[in-house]
Chains A and B, each alone.
Chain A
Protein backbone atom coordinates (compact mmCIF):
# COMPACT_ATOMS: atom_id res chain seq x y z
CA UNK A 1 0.00 0.00 0.00
CA UNK A 2 1.22 3.50 -0.83
CA UNK A 3 -0.74 5.06 2.04
CA UNK A 4 -1.35 8.79 1.57
CA UNK A 5 0.27 10.34 -1.48
CA UNK A 6 0.51 14.04 -2.32
CA UNK A 7 1.50 15.86 -5.48
CA UNK A 8 3.38 17.98 -6.23
CA UNK A 9 6.18 17.87 -3.66
CA UNK A 10 7.21 21.46 -4.33
CA UNK A 11 5.61 24.37 -6.15
CA UNK A 12 6.30 28.06 -6.62
CA UNK A 13 3.33 30.25 -7.50
CA UNK A 14 3.05 33.88 -8.40
CA UNK A 15 0.60 36.07 -6.51
CA UNK A 16 -2.86 35.69 -7.98
CA UNK A 17 -2.25 32.30 -9.62
CA UNK A 18 -4.33 29.26 -8.77
CA UNK A 19 -3.44 25.63 -8.26
CA UNK A 20 -4.74 22.34 -6.94
CA UNK A 21 -2.87 20.22 -4.43
CA UNK A 22 -3.64 16.56 -4.97
CA UNK A 23 -4.13 13.99 -2.21
CA UNK A 24 -4.92 10.30 -2.67
CA UNK A 25 -5.15 7.48 -0.14
CA UNK A 26 -5.44 3.76 -0.85
CA UNK A 27 -6.53 2.63 2.63
CA UNK A 28 -10.26 3.07 2.00
CA UNK A 29 -10.42 5.70 4.75
CA UNK A 30 -13.59 7.73 4.98
CA UNK A 31 -12.05 10.62 6.89
CA UNK A 32 -9.57 12.93 5.19
CA UNK A 33 -7.94 16.20 6.28
CA UNK A 34 -5.88 19.08 4.99
CA UNK A 35 -3.45 20.86 7.30
CA UNK A 36 -0.95 23.63 6.80
CA UNK A 37 2.25 23.79 8.80
CA UNK A 38 4.08 27.06 9.38
CA UNK A 39 7.35 27.27 11.38
CA UNK A 40 6.68 27.26 15.12
CA UNK A 41 2.91 27.21 14.61
CA UNK A 42 2.10 23.53 14.55
CA UNK A 43 -0.49 22.03 12.24
CA UNK A 44 -3.63 23.99 11.50
CA UNK A 45 -6.69 22.34 9.99
CA UNK A 46 -7.90 23.86 6.72
CA UNK A 47 -10.72 21.53 5.66
CA UNK A 48 -11.81 18.01 6.38
CA UNK A 49 -14.18 15.41 4.99
CA UNK A 50 -15.97 12.46 6.61
CA UNK A 51 -16.91 10.86 3.33
CA UNK A 52 -17.49 11.38 -0.37
CA UNK A 53 -19.65 14.45 -0.93
CA UNK A 54 -19.21 15.75 2.63
CA UNK A 55 -16.74 18.49 3.54
CA UNK A 56 -16.42 20.95 6.41
CA UNK A 57 -14.29 23.94 7.30
CA UNK A 58 -11.46 23.77 9.78
CA UNK A 59 -9.63 26.51 11.63
CA UNK A 60 -8.14 28.35 8.62
CA UNK A 61 -10.33 27.79 5.51
CA UNK A 62 -10.14 31.25 3.94
CA UNK A 63 -8.53 31.24 0.50
CA UNK A 64 -9.01 27.51 -0.01
CA UNK A 65 -11.65 25.17 -1.41
CA UNK A 66 -12.05 21.42 -1.39
CA UNK A 67 -14.14 18.74 -3.01
CA UNK A 68 -14.60 15.04 -2.29
CA UNK A 69 -16.10 13.14 -5.17
CA UNK A 70 -14.48 9.78 -4.33
CA UNK A 71 -13.30 8.03 -1.16
CA UNK A 72 -9.71 8.03 -2.41
CA UNK A 73 -9.19 11.66 -3.46
CA UNK A 74 -9.38 14.93 -1.57
CA UNK A 75 -7.93 17.81 -3.62
CA UNK A 76 -7.27 21.24 -2.13
CA UNK A 77 -7.76 24.24 -4.39
CA UNK A 78 -6.00 27.57 -3.91
CA UNK A 79 -7.62 30.46 -5.73
CA UNK A 80 -5.78 33.77 -6.12
CA UNK A 81 -2.65 32.70 -4.26
CA UNK A 82 -1.26 35.13 -1.68
CA UNK A 83 2.14 35.23 0.10
CA UNK A 84 0.33 34.29 3.35
CA UNK A 85 -0.37 30.90 1.78
CA UNK A 86 3.32 30.06 1.66
CA UNK A 87 3.46 26.95 3.81
CA UNK A 88 3.86 23.20 3.88
CA UNK A 89 0.57 21.42 3.26
CA UNK A 90 -0.19 17.98 4.64
CA UNK A 91 -3.04 15.68 3.77
CA UNK A 92 -4.09 12.98 6.25
CA UNK A 93 -6.65 10.20 6.46
CA UNK A 94 -8.08 7.81 9.03
CA UNK A 95 -10.77 5.20 9.43
CA UNK A 96 -14.05 6.33 11.01
CA UNK A 97 -14.82 5.43 14.63
CA UNK A 98 -14.96 3.07 16.39
CA UNK A 99 -11.87 1.87 14.54
CA UNK A 100 -8.42 3.20 15.33
CA UNK A 101 -7.99 6.95 15.82
CA UNK A 102 -4.66 6.94 14.01
CA UNK A 103 -4.30 9.62 11.37
CA UNK A 104 -1.91 8.80 8.54
CA UNK A 105 -0.14 11.75 6.95
CA UNK A 106 1.19 12.22 3.46
CA UNK A 107 4.72 13.53 2.77
CA UNK A 108 3.58 17.11 2.24
CA UNK A 109 3.64 19.77 -0.47
CA UNK A 110 5.93 22.76 0.04
CA UNK A 111 4.32 25.81 -1.55
CA UNK A 112 5.94 29.21 -2.01
CA UNK A 113 3.94 32.19 -3.23
CA UNK A 114 6.02 35.08 -4.57
Chain B
Protein backbone atom coordinates (compact mmCIF):
# COMPACT_ATOMS: atom_id res chain seq x y z
CA UNK B 1 0.00 0.00 0.00
CA UNK B 2 1.53 3.24 -1.13
CA UNK B 3 0.80 5.81 1.55
CA UNK B 4 2.09 8.84 -0.37
CA UNK B 5 1.41 9.11 -4.09
CA UNK B 6 3.52 11.59 -6.04
CA UNK B 7 3.03 12.94 -9.55
CA UNK B 8 4.25 13.53 -12.15
CA UNK B 9 7.14 11.09 -12.42
CA UNK B 10 9.09 13.57 -14.55
CA UNK B 11 8.70 17.18 -15.55
CA UNK B 12 10.43 19.46 -18.03
CA UNK B 13 9.97 23.22 -17.83
CA UNK B 14 11.53 26.26 -19.40
CA UNK B 15 13.68 28.55 -17.29
CA UNK B 16 11.41 30.99 -15.47
CA UNK B 17 8.47 28.59 -15.50
CA UNK B 18 6.62 27.36 -12.42
CA UNK B 19 6.84 23.59 -12.04
CA UNK B 20 4.24 22.06 -9.74
CA UNK B 21 4.67 18.66 -8.12
CA UNK B 22 1.73 17.03 -6.38
CA UNK B 23 1.39 14.52 -3.58
CA UNK B 24 -1.63 12.78 -2.10
CA UNK B 25 -1.70 10.89 1.15
CA UNK B 26 -4.08 8.41 2.74
CA UNK B 27 -3.28 8.38 6.43
CA UNK B 28 -5.12 11.22 8.17
CA UNK B 29 -2.78 10.84 11.16
CA UNK B 30 0.09 12.35 9.15
CA UNK B 31 1.06 15.72 10.63
CA UNK B 32 4.39 16.56 9.00
CA UNK B 33 4.91 16.98 5.25
CA UNK B 34 8.43 17.72 4.01
CA UNK B 35 9.87 18.01 0.53
CA UNK B 36 13.38 16.76 -0.13
CA UNK B 37 15.64 17.72 -3.03
CA UNK B 38 18.23 15.33 -4.43
CA UNK B 39 20.98 16.10 -6.93
CA UNK B 40 22.62 13.27 -8.89
CA UNK B 41 25.11 11.35 -6.79
CA UNK B 42 24.06 13.04 -3.56
CA UNK B 43 21.80 12.22 -0.66
CA UNK B 44 18.40 13.92 -0.33
CA UNK B 45 18.33 17.22 1.57
CA UNK B 46 15.37 18.92 3.23
CA UNK B 47 14.00 21.72 1.07
CA UNK B 48 10.85 22.88 2.88
CA UNK B 49 8.24 21.37 5.18
CA UNK B 50 4.71 22.13 6.38
CA UNK B 51 2.34 21.08 9.14
CA UNK B 52 -1.46 20.81 8.72
CA UNK B 53 -2.23 23.94 10.76
CA UNK B 54 -1.34 26.18 7.78
CA UNK B 55 -2.39 26.03 4.13
CA UNK B 56 0.73 27.52 2.61
CA UNK B 57 4.38 28.01 3.41
CA UNK B 58 6.96 29.94 1.40
CA UNK B 59 10.72 29.82 1.60
CA UNK B 60 12.39 31.85 -1.10
CA UNK B 61 11.21 30.58 -4.50
CA UNK B 62 9.72 27.41 -3.03
CA UNK B 63 6.12 27.18 -1.82
CA UNK B 64 4.15 24.32 -0.32
CA UNK B 65 0.38 24.41 -0.71
CA UNK B 66 -1.56 22.13 1.63
CA UNK B 67 -5.17 21.00 1.33
CA UNK B 68 -6.15 19.03 4.41
CA UNK B 69 -9.67 18.13 3.26
CA UNK B 70 -8.38 16.76 -0.03
CA UNK B 71 -5.38 15.12 1.65
CA UNK B 72 -3.06 16.69 -0.89
CA UNK B 73 -0.03 18.93 -0.86
CA UNK B 74 2.09 20.36 -3.62
CA UNK B 75 5.42 22.03 -4.26
CA UNK B 76 5.64 25.11 -6.48
CA UNK B 77 8.97 26.49 -7.69
CA UNK B 78 8.75 30.12 -8.75
CA UNK B 79 11.06 31.47 -11.47
CA UNK B 80 12.67 28.06 -11.92
CA UNK B 81 16.35 27.92 -12.84
CA UNK B 82 18.53 25.24 -14.46
CA UNK B 83 20.15 24.78 -11.03
CA UNK B 84 16.78 23.55 -9.73
CA UNK B 85 17.10 20.47 -11.95
CA UNK B 86 16.98 17.60 -9.48
CA UNK B 87 14.74 14.86 -8.15
CA UNK B 88 12.13 16.00 -5.64
CA UNK B 89 10.53 13.74 -3.05
CA UNK B 90 7.51 14.43 -0.93
CA UNK B 91 7.17 12.63 2.38
CA UNK B 92 4.95 12.37 5.41
CA UNK B 93 5.09 11.22 9.00
CA UNK B 94 3.10 11.48 12.24
CA UNK B 95 3.59 11.76 15.96
CA UNK B 96 7.06 13.25 15.48
CA UNK B 97 8.94 10.03 15.94
CA UNK B 98 7.70 7.77 13.17
CA UNK B 99 9.89 7.25 10.08
CA UNK B 100 9.14 9.31 7.00
CA UNK B 101 7.12 7.69 4.22
CA UNK B 102 8.37 8.90 0.84
CA UNK B 103 6.71 9.37 -2.51
CA UNK B 104 8.40 7.86 -5.56
CA UNK B 105 10.00 11.10 -6.65
CA UNK B 106 9.75 13.56 -9.54
CA UNK B 107 12.68 14.21 -11.82
CA UNK B 108 12.62 17.90 -12.75
CA UNK B 109 14.57 19.33 -15.66
CA UNK B 110 14.69 23.09 -16.13
CA UNK B 111 15.96 23.99 -19.57
CA UNK B 112 17.38 27.36 -20.54
A residues neighboring B (CB under 8 Å):
4, 31, 33, 35, 40-45, 48, 50, 58, 90, 92, 96-98, 101-108
Interface positions, chain B 79-97, Cβ under 8 Å from A, are 89, 93, 95-97
Nearest Cβ on chain B to A33's Cβ, whole angstroms: 6
B44 close to A (CB within 8 Å) = yes
Docked-complex contact B9 and A43, CB < 8 angstroms: no
Top 6 closest A-B pairs, CB basis? A105-B43, A97-B96, A42-B104, A43-B102, A42-B102, A102-B46
Residues on the A chain within 8 Å of B32, using CB:
101
Bound state CA distance, A39 and B101, in angstroms? Answer: 17
Chain A residue nearest to B49 in the complex (CB):
A101
Contact of A43 with B44 at beta-carbon distance under 8 Å, contacts A33-B99, A96-B97, A97-B96 already known: yes
Query: Of B43, B97, B103, B104, which is within 8 A of A106 by CB?
Result: B43
Q: Does B78 contact A (CB under 8 A)?
A: no
Count of interface residues, chain B, beta-carbon cutoff 8 Å: 24
Once the chains bind, are B96 and A101 in contact (CB under 8 Å)?
A: yes
Q: Which of B9, B41, B49 contacts A40 (CB 8 A)?
A: B9
Q: B residues engaging A (CB < 8 A)? A: 6, 9, 32, 34, 36, 41-46, 49, 89, 93, 95-97, 99-105
Report whether A42 and B43 are in contact in the complex, using a CB–CB cutoff of 8 Å. Answer: no
A103–B89 CB distance below 8 A: no
A110 vs B89: C-alpha distance when bound (angstroms): 19
- Chain B contacts of A48 at CB under 8 A? 99
How far is A107 from B40 in the complex, measured between Cα atoms in Å? Answer: 10
Known: A101-B49, A102-B46. A42 touches B105 (CB 8 A): yes
- Residues of B within 8 Å of A42, CB to CB, are 6, 89, 102-105
